Amino acid sequence: MFWNKDIKKSILPVIVILRDRRSFTFKLVASSLMGLIAAILQSAGGVIPGIGMLISPFSSAPIIISMLISPTFGILSYILTIFLLLLIQPSELFIFPFTTGALALGISFGLILFNKGWKVICLSGLFLCVGICILLYLIQFPVLGPFLIQFRVVNFIIIYSFSLVYSWFWLELVLRLLPRLVKPIKS
């Protein structure tokens, strides 16, 4: 991805299709379905050992789609996912709001607010970094295992660097796959 590329050109047609051409009922049902899909994907880490850990990071995608439908419905979808995780897989309840959910909110707000890819990556990386730091240092939940458990500036830099790379990967994935996912909804 080119850092100064204008991402609004590729994401704006998708936002128009999702936001402007659909009724309130479609938006409500679609965002609740996205919340359900996100909860199922996130709970895969606890339900299916091994391969479920590879599936659970994809719970960010439905929240991003829901946020692009409407920020209000996206936040409602995020909250619905948290409540569904409380019922389905309570052990994943600490992970989603602070990591994959926070990343999805950061990317979504970045796509809505900014034109440049590097701004979106920095914002979503900050959301993810703050979420990981809250889990590690305030709640004392070892989300990264025994790695980086003590608060130091070097650890914070490592976490933020990881968050930037992970956010960059997710932004590339969203920019490439979202137009293909929305194509069936066009008509």
Segment 136-171, tens digit of pLDDT:
888 888 877 777 777 788 888 988 999 999 999 999
> For 92-112, what is each residue's pLDDT tens digit?
888 899 999 999 999 999 988
pTM confidence score: 0.88
Closest CA to 63 of 97, 105, 113, 29: 105
- Structure tokens belonging to residue 104: 């999805």
Distance CA 34, CA 61 (A): 9
Q: How far is CA 114 from the centre of its chain?
A: 17
Distance CA 187, CA 180 (A): 14
The domains of the chain are located at 8-185
- Structure tokens belonging to residue 143: 């989300």
Stretch 112-140: mean pLDDT, rounded? 90
Give the phi and the psi of residue 146 in degrees, each rounded to 5. Answer: -75, 0
Closest CA to 170 of 99, 114, 115: 99
- Structure tokens belonging to residue 122: 């920095």
